[in-house]
Amino acid sequence: MALNPLTNATLAARSRAAVWHPCTQMARLDAVPPLPMVRGDGPWLIDADGRRYFDATSAWWTNLFGHSDVGLQQAIARQAATLPHVMLAGCTHEPAIELAEGLRALTGGALGHAFFGSDGASATEIALKMSAHFWRNQGQPQKCEFIALAGGYHGETLGALSVTDVPIFRDAYAPLLRATHLAPALHEPGALAAIERLLAQLDGRCAALIVEPLIQGASGMRMHGPEVLRALRALCTQHGVHLIADEIAVGCGRTGTFFAWEHTLAPDEVEGSTTPPFGLRYRRPATSTDWPDFVLLSKGITGGTLPLSVVLTTDTVFNAFLSPDVARGFLHSHSYTGNAIVCAAACEVLRRFRETDLLQQLPRQAHALREAFAPLAQHPRVTALRQTGMVLAFDVTDSGERFAERFHLAARRHELLIRPIGATVYLMPPYLIDAPTAQWLAQAVRATLDEVLAGA
Ligand SMILES: *Cc1c(COP(=O)(O)O)cnc(C)c1O
């Protein structure tokens, strides 16, 4: 009988030869062979050698309900069997309509128009184009510059990279990018005053400011509170500049509310609260002036199954594109815009938020993480242990060379799939955390950390 060739070693070797992996130095692939995953089971991934790993980063922050969610499987299979795809110019379909209506309802009607893209970066591109085109249609074509924040991440296509400030992703391509005005990140003291000065200085030239609400993800899970976002909204309104909230990572319940922005709409602190009816917060009426002009969703919107992004915007923006003139309409399209299978998956995600007690469960899950990881704050090499909803992070001091790689490799031996950002270790797990799971995670992270630090 032939040996089964589908082992970790054979698949990793074939992958190394043919697949160019993202965000990966391919020269390191012998030292860090990619794990050939063959199956998902809840938060667990199982590799070709039959070993399992807890997916502590939710398949690059996309997974919400685990890797084998039956509801999502059925929604996708049903749609694939009836109508997989039609063009969304000249045609429409129920999954796209239901998704747009569902998202509008979640904003209390404030963001009533949904434009579909394929991934996070394209959502950023769409919002930037829409904002500048809006001002052009308003007779202000000179309003076409953008403000981004230090350490912000909005994707890696050229337009999105222009408003991204993460040197490792940006430096090699800097000559290809559009100039953007950079303001301090919101967790920095004095950020608002600096942003206000920049807005005044750019008077009449700035189309939009783009921000990651509550958590700057890719630059290392830097967190700020909702107050500064409320102030930012007011500043942008005052200066006639669009506010783009990039909720690609923090939307879809990650911070405890469906949209992270909802934390700004009510005065009481939500984070870590275990008091129901926490989840009803999103039903609070809000006027459209309290919301950003654009909200971007992607990652979690299909529960980690299929690529989709959505740009939500207001009546004001939408109405400015209505005209007998085609060139005043919004001009952006891709072949799979509003793909029906993908929209059906997203509708199932929304249904889960609407019809189950998920939003009531999330604070309990966040609380379990908090309790389990609290002792780590006493670790002599751990600083800045922090958490917002279902994102927990800490920094490691004197972490040494290649810390992220060594931590990732050591974690594999503890059944943990985790990829630190530099010396920042973070967890962004699927919404399947109970107290014993959180305790197990904390123990696995601590054992990994001690092993890595002992070997350094
Ligand atoms: C991941 C991410 C993006 C880009 O999304 P892709 O689907 O990877 O292009 C944009 N903004 C934020 C905040 C993200 O976390």
**CA neighbor of 11 nearest in space, from 41, 33, 40:** 33
Q: Give the residue, by CA position, lying nearest to ligand 1 atom 11.
A: 154
**CA neighbor of 169 nearest in space, from 147, 144, 151, 187:** 151
Q: How far does residue 10's CA lie from ligand 1's centre (Å)?
A: 31
Which residues lie below 8 Å from residue 125, measured CB to CB, with a gap of 6+? 117, 155, 157, 159, 160, 332
Ranges 45-54, 76-85, 140-149, 281-290: which has the least confidence:
281-290
Q: How far does residue 364's CA lie from ligand 1's centre (Å)?
A: 27
Who lines ligand 1 at CB under 6 A?
Answer: 119-121, 124, 153-155, 212, 217-218, 246, 248-249, 298-299
* Confidence at 286, pLDDT banded by 50, 70, 90: low
Pocket test for ligand 1, best of 60, 62, 126, 154 (most atoms within 8 A of CB): 154
Which ligand 1 atom minimizes the distance to the CA of 152? 13
**CA neighbor of 382 nearest in space, from 309, 311, 448:** 448
Q: How far does residue 456's CA lie from ligand 1's centre (Å)?
A: 32
**pLDDT of 143 above 60:** yes
Percentage with pLDDT > 70 across the chain: 94
Which ligand 1 atom minimizes the distance to the CA of 157? 9
Q: How far does residue 142's CA lie from ligand 1's centre (Å)?
A: 28
- At CB < 8 A and 24+ separation, what contacts does 449-453 make? 449/379, 449/381, 449/382, 449/396, 449/407, 449/425, 451/410, 451/413, 452/403, 452/406, 452/407, 452/410, 453/381, 453/396
C-alpha torsion 286→290→294→296, nearest 10: -70
Distances in whole angstroms, Cα of residue 383 to Cα of each of 17, 44, 202, 370, 376: 40, 28, 38, 15, 9
Which ligand 1 atom minimizes the distance to the CA of 247? 13
**pLDDT of 171 above 60:** yes
**CA neighbor of 441 nearest in space, from 378, 366, 384, 379:** 366
Percentage with pLDDT > 90 across the chain: 93
Which ligand 1 atom minimizes the distance to the CA of 119? 7
Q: What is the pLDDT of residue 269?
A: 43
Q: How far does residue 98's CA lie from ligand 1's centre (Å)?
A: 24
In the CATH scheme, what architecture does the domain 71-355 have?
A: 3-Layer(aba) Sandwich (3.40)
Which ligand 1 atom minimizes the distance to the CA of 250? 13
Which amino acid makes up residue 145?
E
Q: What is the pLDDT of residue 456?
A: 60
Domain extent listing, the chain: 35-68+358-455, 71-355
**pLDDT of 273 above 50:** no
Quick check: do 35-68+358-455 and 71-355 share a fold? no
**pLDDT of 337 above 50:** yes
Q: Are 281 and 258 in contact (CB under 8 A)?
A: no
- At CB < 8 A and 24+ separation, what contacts does 382-386 make? 382/449, 386/221, 386/223
Mean pLDDT of the region 21-37: 94
Q: Give the residue, by CA position, lying nearest to ligand 1 atom 5.
A: 120
Q: How far does residue 249's CA lie from ligand 1's centre (Å)?
A: 7
Q: Give the residue, by CA position, lying nearest to ligand 1 atom 7.
A: 120
**CA neighbor of 365 nearest in space, from 269, 447, 423, 438:** 438
Pocket test for ligand 1, best of 254, 299, 301, 342 (most atoms within 8 A of CB): 299
Give the tens place of pLDDT for each residue, 417-431. 999 999 999 999 999
- The pTM of this model reads 0.95
* Confidence at 413, pLDDT banded by 50, 70, 90: very high
Which ligand 1 atom minimizes the distance to the CA of 246? 13
Which ligand 1 atom minimizes the distance to the CA of 249? 15
**pLDDT of 278 above 70:** no
Topology (CATH) of 35-68+358-455: Aspartate Aminotransferase, domain 1 (3.90.1150)
Which ligand 1 atom minimizes the distance to the CA of 299? 7
**pLDDT of 270 above 80:** no
309-313 and 294-297 as β-strands: parallel, antiparallel, unpaired? Answer: antiparallel
What's the whole-number average pLDDT of the chain?
94
Q: How far apart are CA 88 and CA 175, in angstroms?
A: 35
* Confidence at 3, pLDDT banded by 50, 70, 90: low
Q: How far does residue 292's CA lie from ligand 1's centre (Å)?
A: 18
Ranges 1-10, 157-166, 258-267, 385-394: which has the least confidence:
1-10
Tokens of 210: 């783009």
Rg (CA), the chain: 22
Helix (H) or strand (E) holding 297: strand 294-297
* Confidence at 5, pLDDT banded by 50, 70, 90: confident
**pLDDT of 276 above 60:** no
Q: How far does residue 154's CA lie from ligand 1's centre (Å)?
A: 5
Q: How far does residue 50's CA lie from ligand 1's centre (Å)?
A: 31
44-47 and 52-55 as β-strands: parallel, antiparallel, unpaired? Answer: antiparallel
**CA neighbor of 239 nearest in space, from 133, 143, 128, 107:** 143
Q: How far does residue 180's CA lie from ligand 1's centre (Å)?
A: 18
